[in-house]
Structure 1
Amino acid sequence: MQATEPDYKCGVEVTLEVIGGKWKGVILWHLKRKTLRFSQLRRRLPGVTQKMLTQQLRELERDGMVHREVFPEVPPRVEYSLTKTGWEVVPILELMCQWGTARLQGRQEEKEMAQAS
Protein backbone atom coordinates (compact mmCIF):
# COMPACT_ATOMS: atom_id res chain seq x y z
CA MET A 1 0.00 0.00 0.00
CA GLN A 2 1.38 3.38 -1.00
CA ALA A 3 1.23 6.34 1.39
CA THR A 4 -0.81 9.26 0.13
CA GLU A 5 0.50 12.80 0.01
CA PRO A 6 -1.12 15.00 2.67
CA ASP A 7 -3.65 17.51 1.38
CA TYR A 8 -1.94 20.73 2.49
CA LYS A 9 -4.06 23.88 2.56
CA CYS A 10 -1.19 26.38 2.97
CA GLY A 11 2.58 26.68 3.05
CA VAL A 12 2.66 27.00 6.84
CA GLU A 13 1.38 23.43 7.08
CA VAL A 14 4.21 22.19 4.88
CA THR A 15 6.80 24.14 6.85
CA LEU A 16 5.55 22.84 10.19
CA GLU A 17 5.40 19.30 8.82
CA VAL A 18 9.11 19.50 8.00
CA ILE A 19 10.54 21.58 10.87
CA GLY A 20 7.76 21.49 13.46
CA GLY A 21 7.88 19.82 16.83
CA LYS A 22 10.07 20.26 19.86
CA TRP A 23 13.41 19.14 18.42
CA LYS A 24 13.67 19.56 14.64
CA GLY A 25 14.16 23.32 14.62
CA VAL A 26 16.70 23.10 17.42
CA ILE A 27 18.61 20.34 15.61
CA LEU A 28 18.74 22.46 12.46
CA TRP A 29 19.81 25.49 14.54
CA HIS A 30 22.82 23.61 15.90
CA LEU A 31 23.73 22.18 12.49
CA LYS A 32 23.79 25.67 10.97
CA ARG A 33 26.86 26.37 13.08
CA LYS A 34 28.80 23.25 12.12
CA THR A 35 28.68 19.59 11.17
CA LEU A 36 28.04 17.48 14.25
CA ARG A 37 28.16 13.86 15.32
CA PHE A 38 25.19 12.22 17.01
CA SER A 39 26.77 12.41 20.46
CA GLN A 40 27.59 16.10 19.98
CA LEU A 41 23.98 16.83 19.06
CA ARG A 42 22.73 14.87 22.04
CA ARG A 43 24.90 16.89 24.43
CA ARG A 44 23.49 20.12 22.95
CA LEU A 45 19.91 18.94 23.46
CA PRO A 46 19.43 18.13 27.14
CA GLY A 47 16.17 16.31 27.61
CA VAL A 48 16.06 14.57 24.24
CA THR A 49 16.15 10.80 24.34
CA GLN A 50 18.41 8.82 22.04
CA LYS A 51 15.31 7.31 20.40
CA MET A 52 13.71 10.72 19.77
CA LEU A 53 16.92 12.26 18.40
CA THR A 54 17.36 9.29 16.06
CA GLN A 55 13.76 9.61 14.88
CA GLN A 56 13.98 13.36 14.32
CA LEU A 57 17.27 13.05 12.42
CA ARG A 58 15.80 10.33 10.21
CA GLU A 59 12.78 12.49 9.41
CA LEU A 60 14.97 15.51 8.65
CA GLU A 61 17.12 13.31 6.40
CA ARG A 62 14.02 11.89 4.68
CA ASP A 63 12.74 15.42 4.05
CA GLY A 64 16.07 16.46 2.53
CA MET A 65 17.04 18.88 5.29
CA VAL A 66 19.97 16.96 6.76
CA HIS A 67 22.79 14.96 5.21
CA ARG A 68 24.02 11.91 7.11
CA GLU A 69 27.54 10.77 6.30
CA VAL A 70 28.94 7.49 7.59
CA PHE A 71 32.72 7.14 7.63
CA PRO A 72 34.14 3.61 7.22
CA GLU A 73 36.05 3.57 10.50
CA VAL A 74 36.00 1.38 13.59
CA PRO A 75 33.89 2.38 15.36
CA PRO A 76 31.89 4.00 12.55
CA ARG A 77 31.77 7.79 12.64
CA VAL A 78 28.52 9.42 11.56
CA GLU A 79 28.23 13.15 10.94
CA TYR A 80 25.20 15.28 10.25
CA SER A 81 25.16 18.51 8.27
CA LEU A 82 22.63 20.74 6.56
CA THR A 83 21.77 20.18 2.93
CA LYS A 84 21.09 23.01 0.50
CA THR A 85 17.41 22.71 1.42
CA GLY A 86 18.34 22.74 5.10
CA TRP A 87 20.24 25.99 4.60
CA GLU A 88 17.13 27.53 2.99
CA VAL A 89 15.27 27.30 6.31
CA VAL A 90 18.01 29.05 8.33
CA PRO A 91 16.55 32.57 7.81
CA ILE A 92 13.23 31.28 9.18
CA LEU A 93 15.00 29.82 12.21
CA GLU A 94 16.84 33.10 12.77
CA LEU A 95 13.54 35.02 12.75
CA MET A 96 12.07 32.47 15.15
CA CYS A 97 15.06 32.95 17.45
CA GLN A 98 14.70 36.74 17.37
CA TRP A 99 10.97 36.54 18.10
CA GLY A 100 11.48 34.03 20.92
CA THR A 101 14.24 36.10 22.51
CA ALA A 102 12.05 39.22 22.39
CA ARG A 103 9.15 37.23 23.85
CA LEU A 104 11.29 36.02 26.75
CA GLN A 105 12.51 39.54 27.40
CA GLY A 106 8.93 40.86 27.34
CA ARG A 107 7.81 38.20 29.80
CA GLN A 108 10.69 39.05 32.12
CA GLU A 109 9.81 42.75 32.01
CA GLU A 110 6.15 41.96 32.75
CA LYS A 111 7.20 39.80 35.70
CA GLU A 112 9.44 42.55 37.10
CA MET A 113 6.67 45.15 36.73
CA ALA A 114 4.19 42.88 38.52
CA GLN A 115 6.64 42.30 41.37
CA ALA A 116 7.29 46.06 41.71
CA SER A 117 3.60 46.89 42.13
Structure 2
Amino acid sequence: MSKKKYNISVEATLEVIGGKWKCVILCHLTHGTKRTSDLKRLMPNITQKMLTQQLRELEDDGIINRIVYNQVPPKVEYQLSEYGQSLQSILDSLCSWGENHIVKVYGNKFDMLEESILNK
Protein backbone atom coordinates (compact mmCIF):
# COMPACT_ATOMS: atom_id res chain seq x y z
CA MET A 1 0.00 0.00 0.00
CA SER A 2 1.39 3.37 -0.96
CA LYS A 3 1.56 6.18 1.52
CA LYS A 4 -1.34 8.62 1.22
CA LYS A 5 -0.49 12.30 0.88
CA TYR A 6 -2.59 15.01 2.48
CA ASN A 7 -2.33 18.75 1.98
CA ILE A 8 -3.67 19.39 5.48
CA SER A 9 -4.32 16.97 8.33
CA VAL A 10 -8.07 17.62 8.44
CA GLU A 11 -8.26 15.75 5.11
CA ALA A 12 -7.28 12.56 6.94
CA THR A 13 -10.01 13.14 9.53
CA LEU A 14 -12.65 13.82 6.89
CA GLU A 15 -11.59 10.74 4.94
CA VAL A 16 -12.50 8.61 7.95
CA ILE A 17 -15.56 10.41 9.42
CA GLY A 18 -16.69 12.60 6.52
CA GLY A 19 -19.91 12.31 4.61
CA LYS A 20 -23.54 12.67 5.53
CA TRP A 21 -23.95 9.73 7.90
CA LYS A 22 -20.72 8.69 9.63
CA CYS A 23 -20.70 11.44 12.26
CA VAL A 24 -24.38 10.82 12.94
CA ILE A 25 -23.71 7.12 13.48
CA LEU A 26 -20.75 7.91 15.72
CA CYS A 27 -22.73 10.43 17.79
CA HIS A 28 -25.40 7.80 18.42
CA LEU A 29 -22.74 5.26 19.41
CA THR A 30 -21.30 7.70 21.96
CA HIS A 31 -24.50 7.03 23.91
CA GLY A 32 -23.75 3.30 24.02
CA THR A 33 -23.82 0.08 22.05
CA LYS A 34 -26.51 -0.12 19.39
CA ARG A 35 -27.97 -2.79 17.15
CA THR A 36 -28.44 -2.08 13.46
CA SER A 37 -32.20 -1.76 14.00
CA ASP A 38 -31.60 0.84 16.75
CA LEU A 39 -29.45 2.93 14.42
CA LYS A 40 -32.00 2.62 11.62
CA ARG A 41 -34.76 3.80 13.96
CA LEU A 42 -32.62 6.73 15.13
CA MET A 43 -31.79 7.67 11.52
CA PRO A 44 -35.04 7.11 9.60
CA ASN A 45 -33.77 8.82 6.43
CA ILE A 46 -30.82 6.48 5.88
CA THR A 47 -31.32 3.45 3.65
CA GLN A 48 -30.41 0.02 4.99
CA LYS A 49 -27.80 -0.33 2.23
CA MET A 50 -26.14 2.98 3.16
CA LEU A 51 -26.21 2.19 6.88
CA THR A 52 -24.55 -1.17 6.27
CA GLN A 53 -21.93 0.43 4.01
CA GLN A 54 -21.10 3.18 6.51
CA LEU A 55 -20.86 0.71 9.39
CA ARG A 56 -18.49 -1.48 7.37
CA GLU A 57 -16.27 1.47 6.49
CA LEU A 58 -16.13 2.63 10.11
CA GLU A 59 -15.29 -0.92 11.19
CA ASP A 60 -12.59 -1.23 8.50
CA ASP A 61 -11.04 2.02 9.77
CA GLY A 62 -11.02 0.67 13.34
CA ILE A 63 -13.45 3.33 14.60
CA ILE A 64 -16.19 0.92 15.68
CA ASN A 65 -16.35 -2.68 16.84
CA ARG A 66 -18.87 -5.13 15.41
CA ILE A 67 -19.93 -7.65 18.02
CA VAL A 68 -21.56 -10.82 16.70
CA TYR A 69 -23.42 -13.06 19.15
CA ASN A 70 -23.57 -16.74 18.23
CA GLN A 71 -27.28 -17.27 18.66
CA VAL A 72 -30.47 -17.80 16.68
CA PRO A 73 -31.72 -15.42 15.48
CA PRO A 74 -28.34 -13.74 14.90
CA LYS A 75 -27.58 -10.66 16.98
CA VAL A 76 -25.07 -7.99 15.96
CA GLU A 77 -24.19 -4.86 17.93
CA TYR A 78 -21.91 -1.91 17.25
CA GLN A 79 -19.89 0.16 19.69
CA LEU A 80 -17.11 2.70 19.51
CA SER A 81 -13.71 1.06 19.60
CA GLU A 82 -11.05 2.38 21.93
CA TYR A 83 -9.61 4.23 18.92
CA GLY A 84 -13.08 5.52 18.03
CA GLN A 85 -13.50 6.89 21.53
CA SER A 86 -10.61 9.24 20.77
CA LEU A 87 -13.11 11.09 18.53
CA GLN A 88 -15.34 11.93 21.53
CA SER A 89 -14.17 15.52 21.91
CA ILE A 90 -14.55 16.15 18.16
CA LEU A 91 -18.08 14.71 18.16
CA ASP A 92 -19.02 16.67 21.29
CA SER A 93 -17.79 19.88 19.65
CA LEU A 94 -19.72 19.17 16.44
CA CYS A 95 -22.92 18.50 18.41
CA SER A 96 -22.49 21.60 20.54
CA TRP A 97 -21.82 23.79 17.52
CA GLY A 98 -24.87 22.33 15.76
CA GLU A 99 -27.14 23.03 18.74
CA ASN A 100 -25.89 26.63 18.89
CA HIS A 101 -26.38 27.01 15.15
CA ILE A 102 -29.98 25.77 15.37
CA VAL A 103 -30.73 28.24 18.17
CA LYS A 104 -29.10 31.08 16.23
CA VAL A 105 -30.87 30.32 12.97
CA TYR A 106 -34.25 29.08 14.22
CA GLY A 107 -34.40 30.69 17.65
CA ASN A 108 -35.37 27.54 19.50
CA LYS A 109 -34.08 24.17 20.59
CA PHE A 110 -35.03 21.00 18.80
CA ASP A 111 -36.34 17.66 19.97
CA MET A 112 -33.72 14.98 20.16
CA LEU A 113 -35.04 11.89 18.40
CA GLU A 114 -32.62 9.61 20.25
CA GLU A 115 -33.74 10.90 23.65
CA SER A 116 -37.41 10.48 22.81
CA ILE A 117 -36.87 6.95 21.48
CA LEU A 118 -34.65 5.83 24.33
CA ASN A 119 -36.97 7.22 27.01
CA LYS A 120 -39.94 5.16 25.80
**Structure 1 length normalisation: TM-score?**
0.87
Q: Residues of 2 paired with 1:4 and 1:44: CA distance?
A: 38
1:57-96 mapped onto 2 (5 Å cutoff): 57-96=55-94
Partners in 1 of 2:11 and 2:27 — Cα distance? 20
Which amino acid in the other structure matches residue 92 of structure 1? I
Cα separation, 2, equivalents of 1:5 and 1:25: 25
Q: Percent identity?
A: 50
Q: Specify which structure has the higher proportion of helix.
A: 1
The aligned residue for residue 22 of structure 2 is 24
Q: How does 1:102-117 map to 2 (within 5 A)?
A: 102-109=100-107
Superposed CA deviations along residues 79-115 of structure 1, whole A, max 9, x for unmatched, are 1000011100011011011111111111124xxxxxx
Count of aligned pairs: 107
Structure 2 gaps, min length 5: 108-120
What is the CA distance between 1:6 and its match in structure 2? 3.1
Q: Specify whether residues 89 and 9 from structure 1 end up closer, same or farther in structure 2 by C-alpha distance, changes over 3 A only.
A: same
Q: Measured at CA, do residues 16 and 81 of structure 1 come closer, stay the same or move farther in structure 2, by a change above 3 Å?
A: same
Q: CA RMSD in A?
A: 1.1
SS in structure 2 of the partner of residue 78 of structure 1: strand
Aligned partners of 2:26 and 2:42: how far apart in 1? 12
Question: Which digits, 9 at most, give the CA deviation of each residue in 1:21-68, with x for residues without a partner?
Answer: 111001011111110111111100110000000000000000000000
Match of 1:33, SS state, is coil
Gaps of 5+ in 1: 110-117
TM superposition score normalised by structure 2: 0.84
